[in-house]
């Protein structure tokens, strides 16, 4: 449960990186990231495809997953002390990615757009035909939908902050 809350909080701070003298290449690249691409407006098909590629079919080892993201032009965001996740962004419309440090969780994040919810529900039914719906209230206050897959959970969270577009967070938690 705490992992889901932590993943949500990380979305709001993904690009909280300021480049200064002696900054490394990641910090310098992040400093040039267009703010609207931190958590971008991603097409429904691209959001689901990224989730499947990274969180369902990608490596579970966080270092191997990070290397795969870097090979796809993603840059790691600055990690806060004690953080349970690593954030990755790319300066286009692909979703932000969050990887759990223990390899058990993975998420993609994007601004909410039309058609995303239906695509996600369809993907869950296709990829996990025996998945059972879980009462969202049992997961967290931002949880809109959740499924027990037999090997863990798939969770759809909505992050709604005052004055900002709502964001969608699709999370995989391995059991």
pLDDT at residue number 82: 85
pLDDT band at 108 (very low <50, low <70, confident <90, very high): very high
pLDDT at residue number 8: 43
Q: Where are the domains of the chain?
A: 2-174
Backbone angles phi, psi at 110, to 5 degrees: -155, 160
What pTM was computed for the model?
A: 0.82
Alpha carbon separation from 127 to 45, 57, 70, 131 (Å, rounded)? 15, 11, 26, 9
Region 127-146 average pLDDT: 96
What does the angle CA 66 – CA 70 – CA 72 come to, to the nearest 5 degrees?
A: 120
Q: Minimum mean pLDDT among 10-14, 64-68, 72-76: which range?
A: 10-14
pLDDT at residue number 45: 95
Question: Which tokens sit at 28?
Answer: 């310098």
Region 19-36 average pLDDT: 57
For the chain, how far is it from start to end, CA to CA, in angstroms?
12
């Amino acid at each position: 449960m705490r992992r889901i809350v932590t993943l949500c909080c990380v979305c709001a701070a993904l690009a909280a990186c300021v480049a200064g003298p002696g900054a490394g290449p990641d910090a310098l690249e992040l400093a040039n990231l267009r703010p609207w691409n931190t958590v971008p407006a991603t097409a429904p098909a691209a959001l689901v495809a990224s989730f499947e590629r990274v969180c369902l079919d990608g490596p579970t080892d966080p270092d191997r997953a990070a290397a795969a993201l870097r090979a796809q032009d993603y840059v790691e965001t600055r990690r806060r002390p004690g953080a349970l996740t690593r954030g990755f962004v790319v300066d286009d419309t692909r979703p932000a990615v969050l990887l759990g440090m223990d390899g058990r969780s993975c998420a993609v994040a994007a601004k909410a757009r039309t058609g995303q919810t239906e695509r996600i529900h369809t993907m869950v039914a296709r990829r996990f035909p025996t998945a059972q719906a879980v009462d969202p209230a049992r997961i967290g206050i931002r949880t809109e939908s959740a499924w027990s897959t037999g090997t863990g959970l798939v969770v759809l969270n909505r992050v709604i902050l005052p004055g900002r577009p709502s964001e969608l967070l699709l999370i995989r938690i391995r059991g």
